[in-house]
């Protein structure tokens, strides 16, 4: 079926969502626009679905959500999993509607849907899956993508994002269904009256926050002054509840007004990602007036956290995900060693693209450092393995460079509520010693070396872009470079080979002379290739110079 035939099929389907029908009518004579909406189906992987909102098979809409949920329902019913599924959504456009549509399909398939009655964070969904004994979970979110995106993230019974095997099973089940006739859809009100759709009560969220609080080392944080931004997402309620229970007075917390309330348009931060300076600009401006100890920001589904700290010169400096990860790793290790709560054979987990500085920090405290593929589901999987061995307490901390952190086993995903607690505790601990977090970071660099990391993303649009990405990766495999930016390639790892001990992944790693490293990875959620750089030097200037050289060579590497 060609693009025009698919367009005709959708337009003839008597779409319930008239806005989608109007969109298709508006573009029906635009060949490129039609092709972009129908040249593929949204890819369903271990992160579920993610895409631009709109009409077509390559868009997020009620029909792609229903079809995906029918595939999930088939998987749950066929695999003997508990016939219970938890559902959450964040502030994205159509989030509540997509959540209700998923609940309707599950109910029609004899599966009880537990639905948060208002927007809640992704980690709260992971918590609900485990607490309510569900066979799966669904979170309607596009994480930190721009406002035109939404997504459908699927979790397993362990509260972790689904494995590749489960994703393949759901995808195969989806293949048995079309977008319109075959998904079963219940009447929402009747399903709720019959008990197939149930609201998750407030106690579940409160218990989640309490689980985070139990991870506190217990420093006195009452004097901390904070500026906080939920970036118009789902973090406001749980983060304010956490900070209150930690004992930080309300008058010490200033929430960024323009970013306080949920708003799927994200009017002050078109790319609502705390990794991006633009998203944190409103908070940084407020810092100039409030002069807090910390600026904290959480992304729309509140699983990533960004922070800025006083720079000693009257301004504020944003910390990278790697810098915060190393600070928290060292803080957790040193405090647990000091108070006698360090477990036997402790384990910390990070990813192959995160800073190499984690290795010497972990080694100092006798902590085993495990590296996984990119994606916090792999860190969550390591917690599950320790749990299966009977030693979940061995897990100390997991982090990834993209601002994801977790210090407990209460959930199986990155948790920005947990990260806010850790950042406040860490800042208070150093403040008692007369140090800021930037002072602490400089002390770690002086001890372990000046590590630097950077990321460059190259975007590719549409069908031709996807082909171009595949061509670049094929070329790099077929003709590996001998040097990059003048640094000899001393070793290369192709994670697609299956010889690494990790699952196969479309990732290439180049180890360079002088201890530098470059990794090339197509994004799993966006049409772009990401290039990661890392270096270590005897000074900041030396390490920064290496990163600058590698970044400058990235374009030539990708485009030949």
Q: What is the pLDDT of residues 319-341, one digit of tens each?
A: 999 999 999 999 999 999 999 99
Token duo for residue 489: 């390639």
Across 346-434, the runs of DSSP E, i.e. the strands, are: 347-351, 368-372, 395-400, 404-406
Report the b/e string of 60-94 with b at 16+ CB within 10 A: bbbbbbbbbbbbbbbbbeeeebebbbbbbbbbbbb
Query: Edge to edge, what strands does the sheet with 112-115 contain?
Result: 49-52, 149-156, 136-140, 84-89, 112-115, 197-199
In Å, how far are 4, 116, 211, 280 from 92, measured between CA atoms? 30, 15, 27, 19
Greatest Cα pair distance in the chain: 70
Among 479, 558, 478, smallest CA distance to 518 is for 558
- 372 strand-pairing partners: 351
CA angle 320, 324, 325 (to 5 degrees): 110
**3-class DSSP state of 125:** helix
CA angle 256, 438, 295 (to 5 degrees): 5
Q: What is the gyration radius of the CA atoms in the chain, in angstroms?
A: 23
Q: pTM for the whole thing?
A: 0.94
CB 399 within 8 A of CB 370: no
- 512 strand-pairing partners: 489
Which residues make Cβ contacts (< 8 Å) with residue 468, sequence separation at least 6? Answer: 460
Place of tokens 């959504």: 89
pLDDT of residue 144: 87
- What integer is the mean pLDDT of 199-204? 96
Whether residue 143 lies in the annotated active site: yes
CB 208 within 8 A of CB 410: yes
Q: In this predicted model, which residue has the larger pLDDT, 88 or 469?
A: 88
Burial of 518 (C-beta count, 10 Å sphere; 0-12/13-18/19+)? buried
DSSP state of 301: T
- What integer is the mean pLDDT of 355-368? 97
pLDDT of residue 411: 97
CA angle 9, 61, 233 (to 5 degrees): 170
Among 445, 203, 407, smallest CA distance to 319 is for 445
pLDDT in tens, 248-305: 999 999 999 999 999 999 999 989 999 999 999 999 999 999 999 999 999 999 999 9
Helices (H), 247-316: 277-290
pLDDT > 70: percent of the chain: 99
CB 124 within 8 A of CB 88: yes
**CA gap 242, 331 in Å, rounded:** 20
pLDDT of residue 277: 94
pLDDT in tens, 402-425: 999 999 999 999 999 999 999 999
**CA gap 298, 195 in Å, rounded:** 34
**CA gap 211, 76 in Å, rounded:** 28
Sign of the CA dihedral with 166 first, then 168, 171, and 173 last: negative
Token duo for residue 447: 């001890």
Question: How many residues comprise the chain?
Answer: 560
Half-sphere exposure of 363 (CA within 13 A, CB side): 7
Among 226, 203, 273, smallest CA distance to 423 is for 226
**CA gap 401, 393 in Å, rounded:** 24
End-to-end Cα, the chain, rounded Å: 36
**CA gap 86, 82 in Å, rounded:** 11
Residue 498: Cβ within 10 Å count: 11
**CA gap 422, 343 in Å, rounded:** 19
Token duo for residue 535: 């270096």
Helices (H), 291-404: 321-339, 358-364, 376-388
**CA gap 258, 252 in Å, rounded:** 18
pLDDT in tens, 100-118: 999 999 999 999 999 999 9
**CA gap 342, 23 in Å, rounded:** 58
- What integer is the mean pLDDT of 138-156? 95
Band of the pLDDT at 525, cuts 50, 70, 90? Answer: low
pLDDT of residue 205: 93
From 91, 126, 143, 407, the catalytic residue:
143
Q: Which of 41-50, 153-162, 444-453 has the lowest mean pLDDT?
A: 41-50
Whole-number average pLDDT of the chain:
95
- 508 strand-pairing partners: 494, 520
Which residues make Cβ contacts (< 8 Å) with residue 302, sequence separation at least 6? Answer: 90, 121, 122, 123, 230, 233, 234, 235, 238, 239, 416, 417
Token duo for residue 230: 């939920």
């Amino acid at each position: 079926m060609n693009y025009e035939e698919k367009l005709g099929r959708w337009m003839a389907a008597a779409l319930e969502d008239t806005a989608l029908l109007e969109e298709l009518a508006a573009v029906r004579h635009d060949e490129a626009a039609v092709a972009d909406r129908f040249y593929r189906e949204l890819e369903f992987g271990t992160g579920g679905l993610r895409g631009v909102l709109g009409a077509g098979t390559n868009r997020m809409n009620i029909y792609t959500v229903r079809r995906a949920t029918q595939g999930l329902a088939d998987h749950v019913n066929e695999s003997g999993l508990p016939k219970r599924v938890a559902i959450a959504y964040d502030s994205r456009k159509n989030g509540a509607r997509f959540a209700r549509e998923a609940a309707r399909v599950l109910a029609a398939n004899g599966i009880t849907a537990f639905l948060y009655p208002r927007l809640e964070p992704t980690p709260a969904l992971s918590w609900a899956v485990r607490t309510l004994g569900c066979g799966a979970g669904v979170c309607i979110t596009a994480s930190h993508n721009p406002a035109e995106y939404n997504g459908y993230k699927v979790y397993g019974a362990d509260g972790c994002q689904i494995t590749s095997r489960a994703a393949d099973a759901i995808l195969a089940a989806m293949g048995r269904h079309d977008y319109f006739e075959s998904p079963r859809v219940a009447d929402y009100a009747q399903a709720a009256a019959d008990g197939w759709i149930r609201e998750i009560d407030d106690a579940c969220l409160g218990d989640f926050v309490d689980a985070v609080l139990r991870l506190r080392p217990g420093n006195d944080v009452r004097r901390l002054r904070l500026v906080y931004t939920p970036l118009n997402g789902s973090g406001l309620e749980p983060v304010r509840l956490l900070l209150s229970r930690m004992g930080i007075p309300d008058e010490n917390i200033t929430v960024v007004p323009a970013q306080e309330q949920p708003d799927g348009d994200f009017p002050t931060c078109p790319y609502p990602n705390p990794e991006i300076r633009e998203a944190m600009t409103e908070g940084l401006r407020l810092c100039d007036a409030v002069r807090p100890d910390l600026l904290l920001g959480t992304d729309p589904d509140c699983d990533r956290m960004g922070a800025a700290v006083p720079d000693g010169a009257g301004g504020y400096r944003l910390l990278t995900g790697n810098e915060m990860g190393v600070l928290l790793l060292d803080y957790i290790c040193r405090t647990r060693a000091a108070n006698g709560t360090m477990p036997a054979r402790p384990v910390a987990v990070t990813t192959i693209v995160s800073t190499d500085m984690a290795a010497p920090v972990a080694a100092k405290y006798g902590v085993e450092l495990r590296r996984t593929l990119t994606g916090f589901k792999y860190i969550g999987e390591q917690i599950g393995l320790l749990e299966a061995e009977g030693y979940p307490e061995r897990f100390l901390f997991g982090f990834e460079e993209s601002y994801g952190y977790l210090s407990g086993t209460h959930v199986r995903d990155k948790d920005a509520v947990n990260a806010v607690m850790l950042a406040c505790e860490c800042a208070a601990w150093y403040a008692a010693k007369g140090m800021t977090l930037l002072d602490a970071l400089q002390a770690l660099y002086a001890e372990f070396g000046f590590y630097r990391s950077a990321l460059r993303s190259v975007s590719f649009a549409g069908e031709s872009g996807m082909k171009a990405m595949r061509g670049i990766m094929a070329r790099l495999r077929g003709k590996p470079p001998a040097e990059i930016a003048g640094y000899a390639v001393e070793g290369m790892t192709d994670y697609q080979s299956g010889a690494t001990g990790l699952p196969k992944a479309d990732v290439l790693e180049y180890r360079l002379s002088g201890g530098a490293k470059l990794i090339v990875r197509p994004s799993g959620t966006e049409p772009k290739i990401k290039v990661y750089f890392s270096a270590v030097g005897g000074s900041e200037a030396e390490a920064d110079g290496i990163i600058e050289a590698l970044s400058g060579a990235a374009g030539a590497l990708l485009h030949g």
